Structure 1
Amino acid sequence: MPRNLALVTDGMHYGWPSPTLPQILNNTDSPLSITNDEGALMAVMPLLGAVIGAVAASFIVDYFGRKKTIMYTAVPFFLAWNMIAFATSAKYLYIARLIAGIADGVSFTAVPMYIGEIADPKVRGFLGSSCSVSWILGFLIINLLGSYLSIKLTAIVSSSLCIIAFFTFMFMPESPYYLLMKNQTEEARISLRKFRGNVNVTEEMERIKASIQSTSKARGKFTDLFTIPSNRKALIIVGGLRGFQQFSGTTAITFYAQEIFKLAGSDVSPKEASIIYFAVMFVMTIVSSVIVDKAGRKPLLIISITGSVLALFIEGTYFYIKDVKNADITAFEWVPVAGLIMFVILFSLGMQSIPICLLGELFPTSVKAYALCLADVYYSFVATIASKFLQVMKDNYGIHMAFYGFTICSILGLIFIIFVVPETKGKNLEEIQRFLRGEPVHADVELQAMKPKTDDEVNQNVD
């Protein structure tokens, strides 16, 4: 859908090193030849740019509006692809990926905010999960393109998606929430009717107005994230989940997918294996977004990270036997591909998208913009460290040490999820905030919310 094309393009930039690094690492015949250390820096450059973009987005999204902010991210994405297409040295790649990272920081602040403000409450959770689905679709597309096209042609084809994203989003309505913040009442009514199918939206308009007035009176400060105990608890939960998510190796593995499959020496080619890897990730993230409201957040997280521990341990043990023990494992060359496919299936079931989902559930409206900004900066920081960890371990100690390190971190993540992460299934935002404040969440409130409505109650709620 148009609103998520920015995240598809973003995912393509993040996934670009997977098919490209094998082509340019230590390739002395190419002007784009780079060393392993330069490749590691190039891979994580978007994470550094995302810090700048996230901070900028916290200011411009309320000034220019959600629609324009999202629409104009297509410009730096387009510029970055063209710099890659015509790059004559590694420094142009660094600059291009830094620019793409800045656009990423803006996109991952503005798009979730836009979706949250336009979505009907009945489908908000599903639409929120579509952010991860769109991002991973970008990984899959770039691995398909980059595996069979030249670097230049891949970048040119990819840049065309930026043009499509710009012109299709031009016809999307602005967020009615933002329009009401700017006192554009009639424009907000028109926008809301487009999203709701031309029904009577008077009641919903009044609810949004009341929410905006309440939020403006209780406008939070950035320091409230740390000084208010309930916000601090939410920060610990989200920060822990995002940290253990990245130190399971997910982003690092996506950067080096083809390199890892090449080291495995499997009969399956690195190109084919990486395409399978990202296709499975895409499908399983869709499955997670469909079942998360029924299965619950915490059970899926526990199943997901437990399975990831097993898959990472298998992967590390294979490379240990192959590289350290120098054993003949010809009969088991299928293990590394199967292990990573197992990892991506189970990781995508919960750990891929649920931490982002909880980010939108655990923070009150008064500090949510600050929380989104801080979360994107924090994500960039921990993902950079995890990616550098994989590269350092691979180059100096063997890739098995990287996988064993990710295994240990995932075990710690499992303990964290069991004892710290709450279940938010079936709870409205007010109940979640009461839980974070340590106040009792009455069971009868939850039961009343889950109780089927009678025909009379349904008719009273119809506009």
Structure 2
Amino acid sequence: MVFTISSKNLEITQDVPKGCVWKQYFLSFMLSFPFFTQGVQTTSLSASAHSGHFSIPDDVPWSTTALIVGTICSAPVHCYIIDKWGRKFGFYVVIMLQGISCIPLLLSPNEITVIMLHILAGITSGGLFTVLPIYIREICADEIRASMVALMALMTSAGYLVELVMTDETLLYVMAGLVLFQFLAVFLTIETPSYLVIKNKLEVATENLAKLKCVDGDNQLVIEQVSKLKDESERAKMNGTNVLKIYRNKIWLDATKIGLVLYTVMVFSGSIVFLDQEKTLQQLETTADPDRILVPVCLSAGGITTVIFMRFLERKYYLTFAYSTMVLSMGTLAVYTQADLTVTEFRWVPIVCLAILVFSYGMAWSIPAVIMVEILNIEIRSKTLGIIYTYSQILKLIHVHTFQYLKESIGVYTLLYIFSCVNLFGAVYTISKVPDIKLKTVRQVERQLKRIPILK
């Protein structure tokens, strides 16, 4: 067997001007503001981007169902839009919908306006968690792409914190100001080079990539990267990029399975329990934290940690560590939530365990999105992520409607043990099945996913 090395496979060693990195940081931060706005808006909703909310009523309200159904219906549409008309146009649509979702907040509160608010918020979320991770990944250099996509966790949880320092009326003005700011940010955005390569607009792709890297269009670095994107696109088009072809392509199918498993673990990670601080610490029979700042603060701390360490660590090791920490803290917490048990000694233990658990969840919940936008080919990235995210929201809808029956049947502490097992499975699966992704191209990741037959 003879191996040949082509110029496409050579690593690029040319230095990149530092200004390009700061420009990509700035654009990513600007593009992540809709997550902050969504976090602020969540304080007016009955459900969050997670499986539950910080305070879960005994009966799931119609508003929660409306929000999740809106997300399920809109996510595939958003992904179709960015494949048809571009990532920048999809970002504009998300911003516009987020602005429209503020209108019910201006109306007198009643059942109809609450349902309208949740439907619009759900439609916005369907684009927010699919379009923006793809856009940010495609404008960032390999070194910073994971950290910038992980901003979604930090910005969302930071939006939750705003409620602690502002009144409802002030929050409304903040929402309006954020949406206006985001509309202005649209003028700073450019179409991603990856999408332009998909549409075979190589000259514009070269020009936009040069703008992102602050170099001339004839720079060898830009030419090499556009060539790699073109090669990635052509390889995918040769195999076909419709849903049936994705299913038949073993490498793409394995990548899709990874996404399905990781998103499933995050839905059933137990956030529907431990994000409700009162129910988790009910055996203390006291209000140690009347303002309930523990959960949003620990979520934000976890998000900050992820943004920092995604710059240096391999994704699968980081996610495995987060899952493992969740298992240990959740298992300990389950002991303190047993039925008819009043905690009289070491009362600080469940509080510390809850803080560690929420912090670890804050570290983990954005990583599945980071992994998927990094390992998927540009031709199937939006289509596959749309399918996976829609699937996760269907699971979430089932989960929130069955949780109350399970809680009454087997108790919260038993559910915590079950959720611990789910997270343990997630840790084992991640360390054994997720490929190395840090600083890897899609082609290098696909080579790790390629199945080697036993009999040749």
TM-score (norm 2): 0.79
Is 1:269 the counterpart of 2:289? The answer is yes
What is the alpha-carbon distance in structure 2 between the residues aligned to residue 190 and residue 250 of structure 1?
44
Is 1:70 the counterpart of 2:98? The answer is no
Q: Secondary structure at the match of 1:382?
A: helix
Q: Secondary structure at the match of 1:408?
A: helix
Partner of 1:193: 210
Q: Does the Cα contact within 8 Å between 2:70 and 2:120 map onto a contact in 1? A: yes
Instruction: Summarize the Cα distance change of 1:24–1:89 in structure 2 as closer, same or farther, 3 Å threshold.
Output: farther
What is the alpha-carbon distance in structure 2 between the residues aligned to residue 361 and residue 202 of structure 1?
25
Partner of 2:121: 100
More displaced stretch, 413-422 vs 336-345:
413-422
Is 1:36 the counterpart of 2:58? The answer is yes
Q: Quick one: which of 11, 36, 40 aligns to 1:8? A: 36
Q: Quick one: which of 249, 255, 263 aligns to 1:242? A: 263
Partner of 1:221: 242
What is the alpha-carbon distance in structure 2 between the residues aligned to residue 330 and residue 149 of structure 1?
36
Structure with the bigger percentage of helix: 1
Partner of 2:26: none
Residue type of the partner of 1:285? G
Residue 116 (structure 1) shift: 2.3
Residue type of the partner of 2:30? P
Write out aligned runs for 1:314-353 (5 A).
314-320=332-338, 324-327=339-342, 329-349=343-363, 351-353=364-366
Is 1:129 the counterpart of 2:150? The answer is yes
Alignment size in residue pairs:
418
Write out aligned runs for 1:2-401 (5 A).
2-14=30-42, 16-17=44-45, 36-39=58-61, 41-43=62-64, 45-141=66-162, 143-144=163-164, 149-150=167-168, 153-179=170-196, 181=198, 187-203=204-220, 204-205=222-223, 206-207=226-227, 208-209=229-230, 211-212=232-233, 215-250=236-271, 253-254=274-275, 256-257=276-277, 260=280, 265-271=285-291, 273=292, 275-292=293-310, 294-320=312-338, 324-327=339-342, 329-349=343-363, 351-394=364-407, 398-401=411-414
Q: What per-residue deviation string (whole Å, max 9, x for no partner) do you get for residues 340-386 of structure 1?
A: 2110223334x323222221233323322221101210221233334
Q: Does the Cα contact within 8 Å between 2:255 and 2:449 map onto a contact in 1? A: yes
Q: Secondary structure at the match of 2:310?
A: helix
More displaced stretch, 204-213 vs 240-249:
204-213
Instruction: Summarize the Cα distance change of 1:263–1:22 in structure 2 as closer, same or farther, 3 Å threshold.
Output: farther
TM-score (norm 1): 0.78
Partner of 2:434: 421
Partner of 1:458: none
Q: What per-residue deviation string (whole Å, max 9, x for no partner) do you get for residues 122-164 of structure 1?
A: 32222222233333333333x425xx524x6534432332222
What is the alpha-carbon distance in structure 1 between the residues aligned to residue 43 and residue 250 of structure 2?
38
Q: Secondary structure at the match of 2:143?
A: helix
Larger relative contact order (CA 8 Å, sep ≥ 6): 2
Instruction: Summarize the Cα distance change of 1:428–1:332 in structure 2 as closer, same or farther, 3 Å threshold.
Output: same
Q: What per-residue deviation string (whole Å, max 9, x for no partner) do you get for residues 184-217 of structure 1?
A: 6665455333321244455425424555555555
Residue 3 (structure 1) shift: 0.9
Instruction: Summarize the Cα distance change of 1:249–1:81 in structure 2 as closer, same or farther, 3 Å threshold.
Output: farther
What is the alpha-carbon distance in structure 2 between the residues aligned to residue 59 and residue 133 of structure 1?
27
Instruction: Summarize the Cα distance change of 1:199–1:123 in structure 2 as closer, same or farther, 3 Å threshold.
Output: farther
Residue 332 (structure 1) shift: 4.4
Residue 37 (structure 1) shift: 1.5
What is the alpha-carbon distance in structure 1 between the residues aligned to residue 148 and residue 207 of structure 2?
21
What is the alpha-carbon distance in structure 1 between the residues aligned to residue 264 and residue 78 of structure 2?
22
Gaps of 5+ in 1: 26-34, 441-463
Residue 58 (structure 1) shift: 2.0
What is the alpha-carbon distance in structure 1 between the residues aligned to residue 233 and residue 251 of structure 2?
21
Q: What per-residue deviation string (whole Å, max 9, x for no partner) do you get for residues 401-424 of structure 1?
A: 432331232233334334433443
Q: Secondary structure at the match of 2:380?
A: helix
Residue 16 (structure 1) shift: 4.5
Q: Does the Cα contact within 8 Å between 1:266 and 1:336 map onto a contact in 2? A: no
Instruction: Summarize the Cα distance change of 1:264–1:78 in structure 2 as closer, same or farther, 3 Å threshold.
Output: farther
Instruction: Summarize the Cα distance change of 1:154–1:331 in structure 2 as closer, same or farther, 3 Å threshold.
Output: farther
Instruction: Summarize the Cα distance change of 1:44–1:433 in structure 2 as closer, same or farther, 3 Å threshold.
Output: same
What is the alpha-carbon distance in structure 2 between the residues aligned to residue 22 and residue 277 of structure 1?
11
Q: What per-residue deviation string (whole Å, max 9, x for no partner) do you get for residues 9-47 of structure 1?
A: 23334464579999999xxxxxxxxx63244x5345433
What is the alpha-carbon distance in structure 2 between the residues aligned to residue 409 and residue 22 of structure 1?
20
Identity among equivalent pairs (%): 20
Instruction: Summarize the Cα distance change of 1:15–1:434 in structure 2 as closer, same or farther, 3 Å threshold.
Output: farther
Q: Secondary structure at the match of 1:101?
A: helix
Q: Secondary structure at the match of 2:332?
A: helix
Q: Does the Cα contact within 8 Å between 2:320 and 2:430 map onto a contact in 1? A: yes
Q: Secondary structure at the match of 1:88?
A: coil
Q: Does the Cα contact within 8 Å between 2:263 and 2:389 map onto a contact in 1? A: no
Instruction: Summarize the Cα distance change of 1:267–1:372 in structure 2 as closer, same or farther, 3 Å threshold.
Output: same
How large is the Cα RMSD of the aligned pairs? Answer: 3.3
Instruction: Summarize the Cα distance change of 1:192–1:293 in structure 2 as closer, same or farther, 3 Å threshold.
Output: closer
